[in-house]
Amino acid sequence: MKIPRQFILEIKRISWCILLLEIFILFLCSCSQKDLCYDHNHASRVNVKFDWRYSPESNASSMLLYLIPTDSNYRTIKKEFIGKQGGYLQALVGVNYQVLGFNSDIENIIFYEDEGKVMATTKEAVTIDAIGIPVNTLPRAEGTKNQRVVMEADSLWSSLSDKDVYITLEDNDNDRICYQTLYPRQRFCTYNIKVKKVENSDKICSLVAASVSGLAAGIRLSDGAKTAEKVIVPFSMSLTGDMELKGNFRCFGKIPDANISNKLVIYAILKDGSKWCYIYDITNQIDAACDPFKVTIVLDKLPIPNKIENNSGLTPGVSDWNVVDIPIKRSEEH
């Protein structure tokens, strides 16, 4: 029996209608309900701003942001920004982060992690630039032999967020931005050294070098807590028109330990080729400073000899340095 052609065409038309109806129903279902996604490898935006109310004098030119996960199974997210305002970065959804910010325009500082905390320390010094002599050939103050000699610190500001960043799936689905504000604080100290009277200053042939011992090797960026290692920081000093010797340097400050002494060592090379090393104990002045972030040391004199006599009673130090211990008078302890 032959099936009419018109009947076959009608069957095909009905089949296509049913297929299109099924597709339409599936499309409506997909639009009306969105399946939950439990894959946390989505990223969502975090907007971090820096408020400099506690360090208005900062001249930072670039900032580095760390999103540090409290779960060690996730990696730290890092992003650098030009300027000191902050900006956007991406955080994984469903991961709890601490936010750490600090300036990255540095030369002498090295950052490293210790038990999940970001630390800052300075590179080791090879020479004292002012006199161009390797540090391992210079005489040292008593009790400082095992202290490393490091470069001076850079200007450093840092802050840790008061609350953690946690972005939920709902936040991500609704394109919500997480806002955070950090309040950087100064983490470096400035030490200003002045010797009021330099005897026979015309005998000095170059810049004068100096160093201070018993200083902290580094700090923890989250709160500025100092590390326990003691180091020596060298710096340059120069003569002023009124025959005063002045110098300054940045460091991480003194370790908060009453048993730690701080020795200032001044190195001078004279025109006759002789090398002189003067040692002062400046512990009392550092401890008595009103502002530990800005310490001023004032000393009465630097006894540069006018003429070197044989058997002068001075103690030859390393590499034929003449080492002189200068007692500090009570009037010099400002």
Q: Write out 73-94 in H/E/C secondary structure.
A: CCCCEEEEEECCCEEEEEEECC
Task: Give Dmax (Cα) for the chain.
Answer: 139
Q: Among 150, 245, 263, which Cα is nearest to 193's? A: 245
Please give the distance of CA 214 from its chain centroid, rounded to a whole number: 19
What does the alpha-carbon distance between residue 209 and residue 333 come to, in Å, rounded to a whole number?
22
According to DSSP, residue 201 is labeled G
Write the CA distances from 62 to 119, 156, 184, integer angstroms. 18, 11, 13
What does the alpha-carbon distance between residue 202 and residue 243 come to, in Å, rounded to a whole number?
9
pTM: 0.81
Q: What are the pLDDT tens digits along the chain (334 aa)?
A: 555 656 556 666 666 666 666 666 666 555 444 444 444 456 678 999 999 999 999 999 999 999 999 998 999 999 999 999 999 999 998 999 999 999 999 999 999 988 889 999 999 999 887 777 888 888 999 999 999 999 999 999 999 999 999 888 777 767 778 899 999 999 999 999 999 988 888 888 877 899 999 999 999 999 999 999 999 999 999 988 778 999 999 999 998 877 889 999 999 989 888 999 999 999 999 999 999 999 999 999 899 998 765 544 444 455 589 999 998 765 455 5
What does the alpha-carbon distance between residue 250 and residue 192 come to, in Å, rounded to a whole number?
9
What does the alpha-carbon distance between residue 25 and residue 30 come to, in Å, rounded to a whole number?
9
What does the alpha-carbon distance between residue 191 and residue 246 come to, in Å, rounded to a whole number?
11
Which stretches of the chain are DSSP H helices?
Answer: 5-32, 169-173, 283-287
What are the backbone dihedrals phi and psi of residue 161, each rounded to the nearest 5 degrees, phi first?
-65, 145
